[in-house]
């Protein structure tokens, strides 16, 4: 069964993105990024998203 290893939760009201990385069905790492920052993937190095554009 496929289980996502990473979730991006976008809150357009507060202009925040929280990225969760899972290992063995548990949260292994998480980070919250705000407007003016670039959200970064734990799973794909170099994948960045400008939070202010969401």
What tens digit of pLDDT does each residue of 1-40 get? Answer: 778 899 999 999 999 999 999 998 899 999 999 999 999 9
Are the C-beta atoms of residues 19 and 6 closer than 8 Å to each other?
yes
- What DSSP string describes the chain? ----SEEEEEETTTTEEEEEEEETTEEEEEEEEETTSEEE-SSSTT-EEEGGG-
Q: What is the pLDDT of residue 4?
A: 84
Q: What is the pLDDT of residue 33?
A: 98
Q: What is the pLDDT of residue 38?
A: 98
Structure tokens at 43: 């799973």
Are the C-beta atoms of residues 20 and 5 closer than 8 Å to each other?
no
The rounded distance, in Å, linking the Cα atoms of 48 and 26 is: 23
Q: What is the pLDDT of residue 11?
A: 96
Q: Read off the pTM.
A: 0.89
Q: What is the pLDDT of residue 28?
A: 96
């Amino acid at each position: 069964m496929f289980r996502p290893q990473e979730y991006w939760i976008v809150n357009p009201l507060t202009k925040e993105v929280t990225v969760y990385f899972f290992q063995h069905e548990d949260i292994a790492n998480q980070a919250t990024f705000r407007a003016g920052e670039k959200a970064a993937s734990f799973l794909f190095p170099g994948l960045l998203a400008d939070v202010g554009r969401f």
